[in-house]
Chain A
């Protein structure tokens, strides 16, 4: 039987990490418990709600559905890679300005899915933004304010 623990290497928010624990722990648990990156939230644990969304090599994924062994050699970005509390990035600021952040559980996941959208040159088309965010559930805002926030930043991006 091959060894069940083997050292894994990957980057999280541009920092190289070595992981020597169990290979079938979930990415979200390694982020929160080992690396103390508690910005990423677990909602449903079934891949339905998107609140645990992080970027894996730039693509939005549910960190509750990824065993850490599959992160070997790859790059992870979490909400901590965006702005700091004292200097929020444009998307975070837009969420606050439009009322897109309320209870906050879905917010880190929303921000990461929206970050992928913005960074891949996504348009300010509201329907397209809604489709992009379809895998992120919010029980507070009714989505309008979230779509407003992403639209605002996407519009700014397209003017650059």
Chain B
């Protein structure tokens, strides 16, 4: 069955206050921003008779602004807008690279970064970069506001920790104190463009003059029910030089932080072996 427009109720708040008030009254409503996921489900007929909370009129949520120590992306900032923004390009290159791999241009022009988060796909391409940048998600409801570290938004595949009536309002990206010596965004899919990831990886690495790791952050998507930071690998590496055996040891620690499965896109064994190789490649100084 296709989506039946006649069965739908659409709420169109003019500003954030009205949106939060309406959502408090109708917590069963489905928030709609760019629609690149919601409309696919609707076209398949699985959202008939639902109430839609269309957020597209909330101009104040479509801006990218500077904060004291970083950038704030409003919840309606699209992938394309993030890709084109000079300050995002300068400070958060991995997010730009990730946004450019989400669907084609048509999807990037409509789909929002906040929607990529709220949709809570374990394969969301922008989330590993957001995780290594220690992004913080501003969540709002009629009752108040709270700030949540990016990875604490996810409860499972397609499930978030957002409560009834809560909307993502903005995403804060703190500037890095020091430019990383090396960084990585890698997506492994069946096709270079327009594919959903089998594995998606982001990494930032800082080393001292003598080559010892001072700081490292690595995150993977599609490797567990939720996107993950590789805490074991990160803490193992700090203070060590990146000799071949250290790199191998570190990459092997990946298994402690992920739980890949066999699914339509790939297998657990392929995901584990390939992400291990990606990490070895990232951590090896010559690369």
**Known contacts A1-B9, A23-B10, A135-B194; is A70 also within 8 Å of B106 by CB?**
no
- A4: interface (CB < 8 Å): yes
Taking a contact as CB atoms closer than 8 A, the residue among A46, A65, A66, A69 that contacts B10 in the complex is: A69
**Which A residues lie within 8 Å of B105 (CB)?**
59-60, 113, 116, 132, 134-135
Closest to B51 in A: A1
- A106: interface (CB < 8 Å): no
B269 to A: closest C-beta gap in Å: 28
A62 to B: closest C-beta gap in Å: 5
Q: Are B194 and A134 in contact (CB under 8 A)?
A: yes
**Which A residues lie within 8 Å of B54 (CB)?**
67, 69-70
- B6: interface (CB < 8 Å): yes
**Which B residues lie within 8 Å of A67 (CB)?**
5, 10, 32, 35, 39, 52, 54
Which residues A100-134 have CB closer than 8 A to chain B? 113, 116, 131-134
**Which A residues lie within 8 Å of B39 (CB)?**
26, 47, 64-67
- A61: interface (CB < 8 Å): yes
Q: Are A134 and B104 in contact (CB under 8 A)?
A: yes
**Which A residues lie within 8 Å of B9 (CB)?**
1, 4
Q: Are A48 and B56 in contact (CB under 8 A)?
A: no
Taking a contact as CB atoms closer than 8 A, the residue among A47, A69, A116 that contacts B107 in the complex is: A47
Quick one: which of A25, A60, A136 has the most chain B CB within 10 A? A60
**Which B residues lie within 8 Å of A4 (CB)?**
8-10
The count of A-to-B residue pairs whose CB atoms sit within 8 angstroms is 98
Complex alpha-carbon distance, A64 and B106, angstroms: 11
Q: Are B106 and A50 in contact (CB under 8 A)?
A: yes
**Which A residues lie within 8 Å of B44 (CB)?**
46
**Which A residues lie within 8 Å of B109 (CB)?**
56, 59-61
Closest to B12 in A: A69
**Known contacts A65-B39, A135-B193; is A50 also within 8 Å of B104 by CB?**
yes
**Known contacts A25-B5, A61-B109; is A47 also within 8 Å of B36 by CB?**
yes
Complex alpha-carbon distance, A143 and B100, angstroms: 20
Taking a contact as CB atoms closer than 8 A, the residue among A46, A59, A69, A70 that contacts B40 in the complex is: A46
Q: Are B8 and A22 in contact (CB under 8 A)?
A: yes
- A2: interface (CB < 8 Å): yes
Complex alpha-carbon distance, A59 and B84, angstroms: 13
Quick one: which of B35, B39, B103 has the most chain A CB within 10 A? B39
- A40: interface (CB < 8 Å): no
- B255: interface (CB < 8 Å): no
**Which A residues lie within 8 Å of B250 (CB)?**
none
**Which A residues lie within 8 Å of B193 (CB)?**
131, 134-135
Q: Identify the B interface with A (CB < 8 A).
A: 3, 5-6, 8-12, 32, 35-36, 39-40, 42-44, 52, 54, 56, 80, 100, 103-107, 109-110, 192-194
The 10 closest A-B pairs by CB, nearest first: A135-B104, A134-B193, A24-B8, A65-B39, A22-B5, A24-B5, A59-B109, A25-B5, A23-B10, A62-B106
Q: Identify the A interface with B (CB < 8 A).
A: 1-2, 4, 22-26, 45-48, 50, 53, 56, 59-62, 64-67, 69-70, 113, 116, 131-136
Given A47-B107, A67-B39, A70-B56, 5 more pairs with CB closer than 8 A: A47-B40, A131-B100, A134-B105, A134-B192, A135-B105
Instruction: Report 20 cross-chain contacts, Cβ distance below 8 Å, ordered by A residue.
Output: A2-B10, A26-B43, A46-B40, A46-B43, A50-B106, A60-B109, A62-B110, A64-B43, A66-B39, A67-B10, A67-B35, A67-B52, A70-B35, A70-B56, A113-B106, A116-B105, A134-B104, A134-B193, A134-B194, A135-B105
